[in-house]
Structure 1
Amino acid sequence: MSISNIIKSIQDIMRQDVGVDGDAQRIAQLVWMIFLKIYADKEAELEFVQDDYQSPIPEALHWENWASDAEGMTGDELLEFVNNQLFPGLKELQDVESGTRGHIVMEVFRDSYNYMKSGTLMRQIINKINEIDFNSSENRHLFNDFYETFLKDLQSAGNAGEFYTPRAVTQFMVDMTNPRLGEKVLDPATGTGGFLKSSIEHLMKQANTAKERKIVQESIMGIEKKQLPHVLAVTNLILHDVDIPNIRHDNSLSRPIRDYSVKEKVDVIVTNPPFGGIEEDGIQANFPASFRTKETADLFMVLILTLLKEDGRGAVVLPDGFLFGEGVKTRIKEKLLEECNLHTIVRLPNGVFSPYTGIRTNLLFFTKGEPTKEVWYFEHPYPDGQKSYSKTKPIRIEEFDLEKHWWNNREENEYAWKVSVEDIKTHNYNLDIKNPHFEEDELLDPSVALQNYKESLERVKATKQCLVDELSAIVKGV
């Protein structure tokens, strides 16, 4: 049976369980179970190559001792074991230190739950999972392909869609920032690990020895606030031969900006910070007064500018609202242009993040250490004959060949134009600059016209929120 059929049959079994309510819970349930199987297969590999390997997991909790026997525990006995021994044991492993395999297991299970009520159905699912050998290169390759589809399915599971950035976008951003062997790469809003996975693949092409491959593993770092994407990211990296994924389960914004030392700064940051989110009041106090706001993406931009080394390179996904926003957004853009060379903004069309959001997004590329003199814009076109992207017709990496061919030999064309920093300052740091080659009087497709109307409403809402934030800050300062 193919891996996609195995997963589909698991989901069908899980739908019969009264304890699992909705897609989000089904995904969370499946993820911790698959994580344990992947972890067990990885340990089997380590035991084979390391004579002195010691598992941090107690013997009784090893997958092979409670799950691998198809005729083993089932029904109430299995349910009692999972709820009263497995979960408590993995949440409170003894004598584990940060940065170890045991610590990874604890972090994965810290906020994980068993939603299933039927031990009989659980046994059926476990037996299906046991059909996959994650040490098999063929099975691993097939599961990687399924993993991409699995992440897309998150988009229909409520707010879980916020975890997913299209693979083509992550790969393009990593390709253009071009991490090099020995450089530290960070994603402070890791999600399911797409940017880190692309970074590993990019760096592994430069690694020719076991020592260099170890350097790559130690160069990749992430931070993720939410439990489900954190587990997915850890699993993703283990599948890509990272023995101990360095992905902290934490809120990147919860630490005061002033506390970061020079040693903690990194060479490359590639990320898609959550936008439209609202942070709690206490988080704002971690930032300088002039940059305090509840808007998550704005705070992440301040954090990114803090964490980049001199000559460090950043690539960030941001909505149009950041480009034209005022108030705190203006001050952040001023800081960005003064401290960094914002050399490129790739303007993505509608539907790239469909169906999660129809908001237009942009890819900002910058280098820290020198002020911006001019900003190049590139408007990414739809493929011929296509008027939008969708779940079944997503953006493809081949489409970015246009930008790649233009990148190192820049000339204005129907997609590309440049704007001086003086012009940007004159317009109060508004970066929302339209393509001058676009004919405004062209007859718009009705769906595009409707989207433009929706975007106009978003602009009004964003401006209103900026004013509210400003007034709130003034009131608090009185």
Structure 2
Amino acid sequence: MNPASDLVNKLWRLCALLRKDGITYQQYVTELTYLLFLKMASEQKDEGRIPEQYRWRAITAANEAEVLQRYRQALVDLGNPDKVSDRSVVAIFQNATTVVREPATLRKLIDAIDGLHWFSDERDAFGDAYEGLLQKMAEETKRGAGQYFTPRVLIDVMVNLMQPQPGEVIQDPAAGTGGFLIAADRHMRDATDDYFALSPAQQKFQLGQAIRGIENVPDTFRLLLMNLHLHKIDPDHLDLGDTLSPKGSGTQFKNAGLILTNPPFGPAGGPPTRDDLTITDRVSSYQLPFVEHVIRALRLGGRAAVVVPDNVLFDEGRGKALRQRLMSWCNLHTILRLPTGIFYAQGVKTNVLFFTRADDEAPTKDATEAVWIYDMRSGAPAYGKTNPIRPDDFSEFVKAFGDDPLGRANRTDTGEEGRFRRFTRDEIAARGENLDIHWLKATSDEAEDGLETPEDIAAAIEGHLKLALEEIGALVTDLGGEANASELAEAAE
């Protein structure tokens, strides 16, 4: 068995110690975040940033009568910038509290973690094990899990096709737990002998400035910091904030060479407040404003791969205006129609947009000459927890996409019986700028008929209801009824 997988399974079984007290899966993983940070610092001889009384051996040496009190005090003090000078430590432990109620339970967690073997002949397993825990959490927490976790196989496909390069700024404006950023960093490390093939100046940029992300949920931001810390990525350019707000970091995160993201879908509870989002400034949902952010945040010639729901492809009003801007300023060269069920929110129909910002600030003609669409959805099996999507499922698309991250490889239109088609800009305009193009027999509903577990079926129903409320809210907004759209957004939460 893979050493990291073995660790994940053992750590996940420890969840039973806390689940009986009504602890959620995310609370459990957050608790492990604190303990694993202290354990990792001890194993890697990197405890200089931690006050001596709160280091791993000091916690493990405490007797049962005092271990819980010492641990609670450690969480308070490690998140206090007056007591700890290291910013990354303070950020991970900011406002940290424990959900452990009994000293005996904490002792069992500590002893179990202390007894695990964290190293193989090739590498330490802290980072891989933590990512595995995050994936387990997403699998077990269907409600809302898609907001912060993207299936690893899809991340790897998007990253490998976009070919991140050392020296460019790589951004995720909805970073979640950092899957895209870590995969991009790993891709570049593998190509440069862990950055040792780069000059000292290039190494400094890669280790301190290349990776940038924004996350709006404090608890998820903590998991993001820990995940990147375990993968040796500097957290200085990770911000807790709202990408769509002027007080967030969205307006500052400009000139990205590559953006990889799966932004949240659905009602946002209010329109974005950034002045530069001129097209989507009155849209009370996440996906359209995030797409406009990506367009504006790319440097000239920069590229992006963005996961979006179907309505981005066909919404009228501001949705249509956004697609016109996208195809004017960028070369939208590829759309991948994803199968249903690959996200933990069943019933949500999604796509990946691959596009490149034009080399000119204000192109005199549309940068998009044609859009290639690959349909992975029609005729696809019923994916879900019992049948997760695998790398081989993407092999035909990867081959069709080609080896050019800008979408300029030689491609073949497979015709009406095939999965890969080319549509010219004029053909799209004749369709009223509607990019929701499919030609094979639609079988997504039949695929959902194959769902087996009650959880998958309930999640599929929930996903359809949320999308229906969202589309009604978008219509109301276009008609000028912002207050009513806001009420619908709240109802969908």
Which of these residues, 437, 448, 473, is aligned with residue 465 of structure 1?
473
Which of these residues, 231, 234, 237, is aligned with residue 225 of structure 2?
234
Larger mean CA deviation between 135-144 and 188-197 belongs to 135-144
1:31 aligns with 2:33: yes
Q: Which residue of 2 aligns with 1:56?
A: 49
Contact preservation (8 Å) 1:317, 1:364: yes
Q: Which residue of 1 aligns with 2:372?
A: 376
RMSD, aligned CA:
3.4
Q: Which residue of 1 aligns with 2:189?
A: 204
Aligned residues: 448
Cα deviation per residue 1:262-291 (whole Å; 9 max; x = unaligned)? x8421000000010141445x435554542
- Structure 2 counterparts to residues 304-453 of structure 1, below 5 A: 304-353=294-343, 355-369=344-358, 371-380=367-376, 387-407=381-401, 408-413=409-414, 414-435=418-439, 438-439=440-441, 445=446, 447=448
Q: Secondary structure at the match of 1:223?
A: strand
Which of these residues, 105, 109, 112, is aligned with residue 125 of structure 1?
109
CA 228–458 in structure 1, closer or farther in 2 if over 3 Å, else same: closer
Q: Secondary structure at the match of 2:472?
A: helix
CA 422–154 in structure 1, closer or farther in 2 if over 3 Å, else same: same
Larger mean CA deviation between 451-460 and 341-350 belongs to 451-460
Report how far residue 116 of structure 1 moved.
Answer: 1.3
Query: How high is the sequence identity, in percent, across the aligned residues?
Result: 27
Q: Which amino acid aligns with 1:106?
A: V
Q: Which residue of 1 aligns with 2:490?
A: none
Which of these residues, 9, 16, 21, is aligned with residue 12 of structure 1?
16
Report how far residue 393 of structure 1 moved.
Answer: 2.0
Contact preservation (8 Å) 1:204, 1:216: no
CA 112–332 in structure 1, closer or farther in 2 if over 3 Å, else same: farther
Q: Which amino acid aligns with 2:284?
A: K
1:183 aligns with 2:183: no
Q: Secondary structure at the match of 2:224?
A: helix
1:108 aligns with 2:110: no
- Structure 2 counterparts to residues 132-211 of structure 1, below 5 A: 132=116, 134=118, 140-141=124-125, 144=128, 147-148=131-132, 150-157=134-141, 158-208=143-193, 209-210=195-196, 211=200
Question: Any gaps of 5 or more consecutive residues in structure 2?
Answer: 360-366, 402-408, 452-456, 485-493
Q: Which amino acid aligns with 1:88?
A: V
Q: Which amino acid aligns with 1:36?
A: L
CA 175–127 in structure 1, closer or farther in 2 if over 3 Å, else same: same
Report how far residue 4 of structure 1 moved.
Answer: 3.8
CA 116–34 in structure 1, closer or farther in 2 if over 3 Å, else same: same
Q: Which amino acid aligns with 1:379?
A: D
Q: Which amino acid aligns with 2:75?
A: F
Which of these residues, 249, 261, 265, is aligned with residue 255 of structure 2?
265
Q: Which amino acid aligns with 1:398?
A: D
Report how far residue 444 of structure 1 moved.
Answer: 8.1
Q: Which amino acid aligns with 2:68?
A: L
Q: Which amino acid aligns with 1:397?
A: P
Distance 1:321 1:175 in 2: 26
Distance 1:376 1:260 in 2: 31
1:291 aligns with 2:280: yes
Q: Which residue of 2 aligns with 1:51?
A: none
Q: Which amino acid aligns with 1:27?
A: V
Question: Any gaps of 5 or more consecutive residues in structure 1?
Answer: 48-54
Q: Which amino acid aligns with 1:58?
A: P
Q: Secondary structure at the match of 2:15?
A: helix
Q: Which amino acid aligns with 1:151?
A: Q
Distance 2:243 2:169 in 1: 17
Distance 2:75 2:8 in 1: 28
Distance 1:266 1:92 in 2: 33
Q: Which residue of 2 aligns with 1:252?
A: 243
Which of these residues, 78, 101, 115, is aligned with residue 67 of structure 2?
78
